[in-house]
A and B are shown apart, each in its own frame.
Chain A
Amino acid sequence: MKPKKRGKGILSRLLMAFFFRRKTPKIGIYGPPNAGKTTLANRIIHTFVDENEDIGAASGMPHETRRAVRRSGIMIDLKLKSVQSPDPNHGSDPEPKVKERKERAKRKLKLDVVDTPGLATKIDFHDFMAYGLEEEEAKRRAKEATEGVIEAIKWLDDIDGVVLLMDATEDPYTQTNVIIIGNMEARGTPIIIAANKVDLADAAPERIMNAFPQHPVIPISALKGENMEMLYEEMARRFR
């Protein structure tokens, strides 16, 4: 009697899951080492989940992230005060209620964020020694970094959307950037390019826009939190 009952429970749960499932999209943050992927992932979590929760450590040494990390169930809510830029004529807009409710529904999006290791075609342990690591440690980090690159590539199979992050102070026309975009286009996976570090004086986001005119490019500073609402709006638009 008991096993039969349990079986029915599982069946109905499966049926429920089948008819009411709405898969939460998994959004991968991709890009070259040091672009600011972890900084961006942390900022998203701080804004929408918990100010004290980090997905991982950010640092100036490349290949800081060597394992992909997923944070599930982040509710991107564009109505949050902390998301919006200061609005000069606040509170004086008598919007019809129905429209407002519809708008709000569109302005919320639940997603999983995956912070990935930086993609590279070469990893030289000498580069880590230049950051002050001992030879043994540098070699270990290089080995882990190669595994991280493979992991990031394998994750692409499970990703529903990509935020491709580039350092706006650097040349965007690298082969890894071109390859990520080419792969996403071939799979039909939506992609948003974020031109990061626009707080720096030599940032040139327009260079990125010129290099990849077929995709939306949002200039941001993940560190300073500049222009984040524009990125979240684009995410809500492309990733639902």
Chain B
Amino acid sequence: MEVKMDLVSEDKINSMGSMEKLRFVLDGVKSGNIVVLEGGLTSEEQMKLIELTMTEVNEDFPGIEMNGYPTKRGFLNLRRKTRLTVIGPANTMHTIKKDNDLISAIISAI
């Protein structure tokens, strides 16, 4: 079986409203894709994504695996800059190692 990856540009992410963004990510993941977001999601958006995911978990969809690099402080420590977020279906994606500058994930087709 094949695994599809969506590499989504920051421009596309920024053109979407907050709910639209989460819906886009979750729909992609629920159809089996690994979604990689350039620029990533904020912590608040990720929390909302967990909430939305939990309303849709069922016997066939156990949820998501999510990873990313924490936000960096921008100019004068004011703007928080997210960097990268990877979201995949929990039944195919498994993070095996993560630290500040490296994320290793295994993706197993089922």
Interface residues of A (CB under 8 A from B): 119-125, 139, 142, 146-147, 149-150, 153-154, 156, 171, 173-176, 178-179, 181-183, 185-186, 211
With known contacts A175-B66, A178-B70, A183–B57 Cβ distance under 8 A? no
Task: Give the chain B neighbours of A175 by CB distance below 8 A.
Answer: 46, 66-68, 95
Task: Give the chain B neighbours of A185 by CB distance below 8 A.
Answer: 43
Task: Decide if B39 is an interface residue (CB 8 Å cutoff).
Answer: no
A185 to chain B, nearest CB (A): 8
Docked-complex contact A142 and B57, CB < 8 angstroms: yes
Q: Is the interface of B mostly helix, strand, loop or mixed?
A: mixed
Complex Cα–Cα for A82 and B8 (A): 56
Docked-complex contact B51 and A150, CB < 8 angstroms: yes
Task: Give the chain B neighbours of A178 by CB distance below 8 A.
Answer: 43, 68, 70
Interchain Cβ contacts under 8 Å between A and B, 13 examples: A119-B50, A121-B50, A122-B65, A123-B54, A125-B59, A139-B59, A150-B54, A175-B46, A181-B43, A182-B46, A182-B70, A186-B43, A186-B44
Q: Which 4 pairs of residues, A with B, have the shortest CB-CB distance?
A: A182-B43, A122-B63, A122-B90, A124-B62
Docked-complex contact A124 and B90, CB < 8 angstroms: yes
Task: Give the chain B neighbours of A183 by CB distance below 8 A.
Answer: 43-44, 47
Task: Decide if B99 is an interface residue (CB 8 Å cutoff).
Answer: yes
Docked-complex contact B99 and A173, CB < 8 angstroms: yes
Complex Cα–Cα for A211 and B100 (A): 8
Interface residues of B (CB under 8 A from A): 42-44, 46-47, 50-51, 53-55, 57, 59, 62-68, 70-71, 80, 90-91, 95, 98-99
Complex Cα–Cα for A154 and B68 (A): 23
Docked-complex contact A186 and B65, CB < 8 angstroms: no
Complex Cα–Cα for A173 and B96 (A): 11
Docked-complex contact A121 and B64, CB < 8 angstroms: yes
Docked-complex contact A153 and B63, CB < 8 angstroms: no
Task: Give the chain A neighbours of B42 by CB distance below 8 A.
Answer: 182, 186
Task: Give the chain A neighbours of B65 by CB distance below 8 A.
Answer: 121-122
Docked-complex contact A179 and B57, CB < 8 angstroms: no
Closest to B68 in A: A175
Complex Cα–Cα for A154 and B42 (A): 17
Task: Give the chain B neighbours of A174 by CB distance below 8 A.
Answer: 98
Docked-complex contact B90 and A173, CB < 8 angstroms: no
Closest to B70 in A: A178
Docked-complex contact B47 and A179, CB < 8 angstroms: yes
Docked-complex contact A153 and B64, CB < 8 angstroms: no
B59 to chain A, nearest CB (A): 7
Complex Cα–Cα for A122 and B59 (A): 11
Closest to A212 in B: B70
Docked-complex contact B62 and A182, CB < 8 angstroms: no
Complex Cα–Cα for A139 and B43 (A): 29
Closest to A175 in B: B66
Complex Cα–Cα for A178 and B52 (A): 18
Residue of A146, A174, A178, A179 ringed by the most chain B CB atoms within 10 A:
A179
Task: Give the chain A neighbours of B90 by CB distance below 8 A.
Answer: 121-122, 124
Task: Give the chain B neighbours of A173 by CB distance below 8 A.
Answer: 98-99
Closest to B99 in A: A173
Closest to B63 in A: A122
B13 to chain A, nearest CB (A): 17
B92 to chain A, nearest CB (A): 11
